[in-house]
Amino acid sequence: MAAMSLNRAAILTWAFLVCASIATGLLIGGKGLSPAIVVSLILLIAVFKARMIVLHYMELKHAPLSWRLAFELWVVAAAALILGIWLFTGSAANCVAP
């Protein structure tokens, strides 16, 4: 029973991750949104996906809090660094014009 519920949790996590990946695909194909919104949403989805892997596949959800927080912090920090540099170094500005 316990094995079954663990496996059920694993397939739910996988299904969520696949749906999130499809959402990313729809976003990049979508029209009418500004690049800043699209890039922010793509990175937000990436953060959710990475956090799911950290918490459920790497099992940090039930690990000592310090390890859990360190890896969750990495996920947010990596995405924030990428988005922050993109927004504040003119990369975004270069792309707003068609």
70 binds another protein (CB under 8 A): yes
26 binds another protein (CB under 8 A): no
How far is 94 from 43, CA to CA, in rounded Å? 19
Question: Residue 79: what residue type?
Answer: A
Query: Hey, how many other C-beta atoms are within 10 angstroms of the C-beta on 58?
Result: 13
Contact criterion met (CB below 8 Å) for 42 and 24: yes
Query: Hey, how many other C-beta atoms are within 10 angstroms of the C-beta on 49?
Result: 20
Q: Which residue, 25 or 32, is less far from another protein as judged by CB? A: 25
At closest approach, how far in Å is the CB of 77 from another protein? 7
72 binds another protein (CB under 8 A): no
At closest approach, how far in Å is the CB of 54 from another protein? 7
Contact criterion met (CB below 8 Å) for 20 and 45: yes
Contact criterion met (CB below 8 Å) for 60 and 67: yes
- Give me the residues that bind another protein (CB under 8 A), please: 2-3, 6-7, 10-11, 13-14, 17-18, 21, 24-25, 28, 35, 38-39, 42-43, 46, 49-50, 53-54, 57-59, 62-65, 67, 70-71, 74-75, 77-79, 81-82, 85-86, 89-91, 94-95
